[in-house]
Amino acid sequence: MEEKISIEEIRKEENLVFVKTKLLTDKSLSYCPGCGHGVAHRITMEVIEEMDLWADAIGVAPVGCSVLAYEFMNIDMQQAAHGRAPALATAIKRLMPNKLVFTYQGDGDLAAIGTAETIHACNRGENFTIIFINNGIYGMTGGQMAPTTIPGMKSSTSPYGRDVKIMGNPLKITELVATLPGTYSVSRHSVHTPGNVRKAKKAIRKAFENQKLERGVSFVEIVSNCNSGWKMTPNDSNIWMEENMFPYFPLGDIKVDGELVK
Amino acid sequence: MKELRLMKGNEAVAEAAIRAGADGYFGYPITPQSEVLEYLMTEKPYEKTGMVVLQAESEIAAINMVYGGASCGKKVMTSSSSPGISLKQEGLSYIAGAELPCLVVNVVRGGPGLGTIQPSQSDYFQATKGGGHGDYRLIVLAPASVQEMADFAKLGFELAFKYRNPVMILSDGAIGQMMEKVELEEQKPRWTDEEIVEISPWATTGKTPDRERNIITSLDLDSHRHEKHNEKLQAKYKKIQENEVRYEKIHCDDAEYIFVAYGTSARICQKSIELGRKKGIKIGLFRPITLFPYPSNALRELSQGLKGILSVEMNAGQMIEDIKLSVGTTFNVEHFGRMGGVIPTPNEVLEALEQKIIGG
Ligand SMILES: Cc1ncc(C[n+]2csc(CCOP(=O)(O)OP(=O)(O)O)c2C)c(N)n1
Ligand code: SF4
């Protein structure tokens, strides 16, 4: 007869392959199952823990699906008005230069209503980090068109697909901020496969390390899915993202150590 | 040691803020208050006290910088004039909702719209009744001299931290631009990091192992809990109304009539009183210094022996609503005002009293 192994026996130190970081609270995430926000939260908090910066970290939550990021991130946090996170972060970092300051923003927040704050903080060369979740849609308000909704993509306010003649062009804000003298590092990643999660995490770590150099904004875009807003299953949304979003928003480094990648 | 200087109102508020130990100023140029930022950039307090001064890309950015700084327990401020203050309203609502201390100076110009750059008092409603969305109040201080511009910078920070509430200095283009003698207090040191943690244990200064994380937010998706939060805010405003009323009475002891006026209008009324008393009219001035909390009780008491009140405002009649709430609608109260940036003369104010109140 086969012997039954109890759960306690499995949960031994030597068997552990994953431990939730202390920098995430026990609150269950408010995100839709399959959404990339949760993974982006986790890797951001893991990096802060690994860098031993818990007591230094001050995060700024946006208005968007991640408005409640402060419920999940177990660090000191401020909740900004829609689009204004870079203004808050500017003041926090200037008033407390030794802290690790970052904003966590969606595309509507960062590239529509907050465009001025984004561009000017990036152009001034503020020494904080921007983590930008680009899901090509307004998730929180129910799936309206975003500045990063790609041509032809459907949303509740572009129900027949984005027609650029009527609705204008999407904004490649990440490429735009990379051209500004005040950004030091700019890169684009995704969190939909284990390999990509590892790369994104490395990029966030690099961005936080760059912040310590005080050479300007370190900017990490994560192209992510919004399976609810896109009206797809999580798996289909990831496939759709690979096939449609990545060609428009190619992954990789855009600016490294202050130099644009050719 | 105190120091005597000849300064513009806008310069005085800036200098007094430095001396009050301010940590940061964030602003955007607009007439008639650009001297605040110009003065700070010339004085370079960042080299002397470490105070941060930054010209923001807009008033929206500036107030949200104030929001970020206030969330860290820092003494932060902004200044602007009417159109710019309109842009700050969303931020002010967040700051009030999240219960943060900060100082906002409004050097009022005539509106609506781009209006004019001349002095006005047409932002009274906006300043005293909320301004942005939601049920909230600012503490509103109305200076009538360059000295008070300086004094209210310090007082403003004190009240802001005492109540964790935004404070507005509601000035106008005349007080901001004119030069007067001003006595400045000596430099106070800025708070140290340790002092900030002690004074504002709620501030986001980085989560240390000895405490839970600090969160600054105005959001609560649970409506019953959010109602509780609103009740707490209202209780705070009531406490402010009980404890922080400030006003001045001039020639009121034997008065049969009074002007009620603040800021520049109050100065003009003082001249009108001189002219009126020469003609034998027993007239005085009641000058609210706090516009919120409004000195209603003091005004009601004073009104008991009076024959009439003229509200003198550089607007279409805004503060008169608070006067009527104080003394009742059956009392003999009228409004006299000039609009669009016109400053009334002492003679026309006196004439208005004679026609609308004494003769009326
Ligand atoms: C001033 C203001 N305008 C509009 C809104 C409504 N609103 C809330 S979230 C949002 C869009 C968020 O989209 P995004 O930034 O892409 O984040 P996501 O929800 O997709 O993560 C909007 C328009 C608001 N809260 N405040
Ligand atoms: S609506 Fe979209 S972005 Fe928001 S939680 Fe759901 S999947 Fe994520």
Residue ending a domain, choose from B157, B174, B193: B193
Per cent of chain A over pLDDT 70 is: 99
Nearest to B65 by CA among B88, B82, B97, B36: B88
Average pLDDT over residues B91-112: 98
pLDDT of residue B130: 87
CATH label of the domain that carries residue B168 = 3.40.50.970
In chain B, alpha helices (H): 9-19, 34-43, 45-48, 59-71, 82-87, 89-97, 124-128, 146-163, 173-177, 193-199, 223-243, 263-278, 296-303, 320-327, 346-352
A92 close contact with B: CB closer than 8 A: yes
DSSP per residue, B245-302: --EEEES-TT-SEEEE--HHHHHHHHHHHHHHHHTT--EEEEEESEEES--HHHHHHH
For chain A, the domain total comes to 1
- CB spacing of A84 vs B60 below 8 angstroms: yes
CA distances from B70 to A82, A117, B45, B107, B336 (A): 18, 18, 19, 22, 39
Average pLDDT over residues B185-189: 97
Please tell me the residue having the least CA distance from ligand 1 atom 9.
A64
| CA–CA separation, A71 and B27 (whole Å) | 32
Same-domain status, B43 and B154: yes
Same-domain status, B180 and B51: yes
Is the pLDDT score of A15 beyond 90? no
Mean confidence (pLDDT) of chain B: 98
In this prediction, residue A9 has a pLDDT band, given cuts at 50, 70 and 90, of confident
pLDDT of residue A2: 67
**Which residues of chain A does B206 touch, with a Cβ-Cβ cutoff of 8 Å?**
54-58, 76, 96, 99
Residue A58 lies in a domain: yes
- CB spacing of B64 vs A58 below 8 angstroms: no
| CA–CA separation, B169 and B153 (whole Å) | 8
Residue A37 lies in a domain: yes
pLDDT of residue A11: 80
CA distance A164 to chain B (A): 29
Residue B217 lies in a domain: no
Report the pocket of ligand 2 as residue ranges, CB < 6 Å: A 31-32, 35, 37, 65, 135, 139, 226-229
For chain B, the domain total comes to 2
How many whole angstroms from A107 Cα to the centroid of ligand 1? Answer: 9
How many whole angstroms from A228 Cα to the centroid of ligand 2? Answer: 6
pLDDT of residue B286: 98
pLDDT tens-digit readout, A52-85: 999 999 999 999 999 999 999 999 999 999 999 9
Same-domain status, B182 and B283: no
Global pTM reads 0.97
Average pLDDT over residues B300-319: 97
How many whole angstroms from B289 Cα to the centroid of ligand 2? Answer: 50
**Which residues of chain B does A80 touch, with a Cβ-Cβ cutoff of 8 Å?**
64, 67-68
CATH label of the domain that carries residue B258 = 3.40.50.920
Same-domain status, B187 and B106: yes
Residue B232 lies in a domain: no
Residue B43 lies in a domain: yes
Residue B231 lies in a domain: no
- CB spacing of B217 vs A88 below 8 angstroms: no
How many whole angstroms from B139 Cα to the centroid of ligand 2? Answer: 40
Same-domain status, B14 and B135: yes
Is the pLDDT score of B331 beyond 60? yes
Report the nearest atom of ligand 1 relative to the CA of B90: 1
| CA–CA separation, A62 and A52 (whole Å) | 24
pLDDT of residue A149: 98
CATH label of the domain that carries residue A30 = 3.40.50.970
- ipTM of predicted complex: 0.97
Residue A10 lies in a domain: no
| CA–CA separation, A49 and A35 (whole Å) | 23
Same-domain status, B46 and B164: yes
Residue B180 lies in a domain: yes
CA distances from B149 to B20, B36, B59 (A): 13, 11, 21
Residue B236 lies in a domain: no
The H-or-E segment that residue B52 falls in is strand B52-55
Residue A17 lies in a domain: no
**Which residues of chain A does B72 touch, with a Cβ-Cβ cutoff of 8 Å?**
58, 91-92, 95-96
Per cent of chain A over pLDDT 90 is: 92
Tokens 């408005």 belong to A67
pLDDT tens-digit readout, A93-116: 999 999 999 999 999 999 999 999
Residue ending a domain, choose from B193, B209, B224: B193
Which ligand is the nearest neighbour of the Cα of A38? Answer: 2
Average pLDDT over residues A21-42: 97
pLDDT of residue B165: 98
In this prediction, residue A16 has a pLDDT band, given cuts at 50, 70 and 90, of confident
**Domain of B180, in residue numbers:** 3-193
pLDDT of residue B111: 96
| CA–CA separation, B319 and B314 (whole Å) | 10
Report the pocket of ligand 1 as residue ranges, CB < 6 Å: A 63-66, 82, 106-109, 133, 135, 137-141, 146, 226
Same-domain status, B51 and B168: yes
Tokens of B41: 């950039």
CA distances from B86 to B81, B82, B137 (A): 9, 6, 15
Check if the beta carbon of residue A74 is closer than 8 Å to that of residue B207: yes
Same-domain status, B274 and B173: no
Residue B152 lies in a domain: yes
- CB spacing of A99 vs B61 below 8 angstroms: no
pLDDT of residue B360: 65
CA distance B226 to chain A (A): 15
Same-domain status, B176 and B268: no
Average pLDDT over residues A247-259: 98
Same-domain status, B154 and B28: yes
**Domain of A109, in residue numbers:** 26-260
The neighbouring-strand residues paired with B102 are B166
Average pLDDT over residues B81-95: 98
Is the pLDDT score of A152 beyond 60? yes
In this prediction, residue B208 has a pLDDT band, given cuts at 50, 70 and 90, of very high
**Which residues of chain A does B195 touch, with a Cβ-Cβ cutoff of 8 Å?**
none
Interface test with A, best of B217, B220, B225, B229 (most A CBs within 10 A): B217
| CA–CA separation, A20 and B348 (whole Å) | 75
Residue A15 lies in a domain: no
pLDDT tens-digit readout, A181-239: 999 999 999 999 999 999 999 999 999 999 999 999 999 999 999 999 999 999 999 99
A231 close contact with B: CB closer than 8 A: no
In this prediction, residue B171 has a pLDDT band, given cuts at 50, 70 and 90, of very high
Report the nearest atom of ligand 1 relative to the CA of A146: 16
Same-domain status, B189 and B264: no
Residue B237 lies in a domain: no
Residue A44 lies in a domain: yes
Residue A12 lies in a domain: no
In this prediction, residue A1 has a pLDDT band, given cuts at 50, 70 and 90, of low
